[in-house]
Amino acid sequence: MSDLELTVNGHSYDVRGARVGISLAQVLREELGMTGTKIACNEGHCGACTVQIDGVPTLSCITLAHAVEGEVTTIEGLREHPLVDAFVQADAVQCGFCTPGQVVSAAALVAANPTPTVDEIRHHMAGNICRCGTYPRIEEAILHWRD
């Protein structure tokens, strides 16, 4: 057990007695109640657990919470991002399980490159798997996120 300080969505949190080896995804969901971050494969393969650390998309299921040094942004911190509406408008959500990770990844992309090409979108989003196959609609949402 070891205390843990995290900055998430602009707020500082002290997590008392976090067990050593706990993942960032588990801390977010179980200790901080931020269940928007999903855990699917829990092995770093699917992207469902994607958060940003200092703006960089990061797989929180394979990130040790005690090793986090930067500021964490989760889907809860992106509620007002225009991409959320763009996903809805493009009907890019089916079951919705992958959607938080998709939006977190896409937000990092458009922050660095507001007008990505389809190839750039595909390259950047390659780590985010959608079992419902909404990829064309996700691409549409990212292409038109500012409309």
Q: Print the binding letters for residues 87-106 with ligand FES: x by CB under 6 A, - otherwise.
A: ------xxxxxxx-------
Residue 13 found at the interface with ligand FES (CB under 6 A) = no
6 binds ligand FES (CB under 6 A): no
| Phi–psi pair at 42, nearest 5 degrees | 60, 20
Q: To 10 degrees, the CA torsion angle through 14, 19, 25, 30?
A: -70
Order of strands across the sheet with 72-73?
11-18, 2-8, 72-73, 50-53, 56-59
- CA 98 to CA 115: how far, in whole Å? 23
Binding of ligand FES by 83 (CB under 6 A): no
Tell me the closest approach of the beta carbon of residue 133 to ligand FES, in angstroms.
8
Instruction: Tell me if 63 sits within 8 A of 24, measured CB to CB.
Output: yes
State the number of binding residues for ligand FES (CB under 6 A): 23
**One residue of 73, 109, 134, 141 binding ligand FES per CB under 6 A:** 134
Smaller CB separation from ligand FES, 17 or 136? 136
Tell me if 59 contacts ligand FES by CB under 6 A: yes
For 19, which DSSP code? P
Shorter beta-carbon distance to ligand FES: residue 104 or 109: 104
Query: How do strand 50-53 and strand 72-73 relate by DSSP bridges?
Result: antiparallel
- Based on the shown chain and the rule CB under 6 A, indicate whether residue 49 belongs to the binding site for ligand FES: yes
Positions touching ligand FES (CB under 6 A) are 39-42, 44-49, 59, 61, 93-99, 130-132, 134
